[in-house]
Amino acid sequence: MTQLPNVPTMAESFPGYETTTWFTAFAPAGTPKAIVDRLNARLGNALRDPGVASRLSAVAFDPVHRTLDDLAQRLKADHEMVGKLFRQLGVRLD
């Protein structure tokens, strides 16, 4: 996090684990790909806007625009990482 350069990362504190705060927008299942692609492109444009980027940075967010494939990979990786952590800690979701 660029705003807190001297604070250790999760990976530095707990080797093998990483955490980031991220936000995304989802559309209902079945939304045509052309619409999803257009929404994703417009979100990317907004995140590249200097005014938006500076406001997000001011509240400790580093805006990054990703592709839909990147999001799918991120969701899978996070699910696997959290599942592994829960199993190691014996966490149960009842």
pLDDT band at 72 (very low <50, low <70, confident <90, very high): very high
More confident residue, 94 or 32: 32
Query: Radius of gyration (Cα) for the chain, nearest Å?
Result: 17
For residue 1, pLDDT beyond 80? no
User: What average pLDDT does this structure show over 21-43?
Assistant: 93
pLDDT given for residue 58 in this prediction: 87
User: What average pLDDT does this structure show over 1-13?
Assistant: 82
Distances (CA, A) of 12 to 16, 55, 58, 60: 9, 28, 24, 19
For residue 47, pLDDT beyond 80? yes
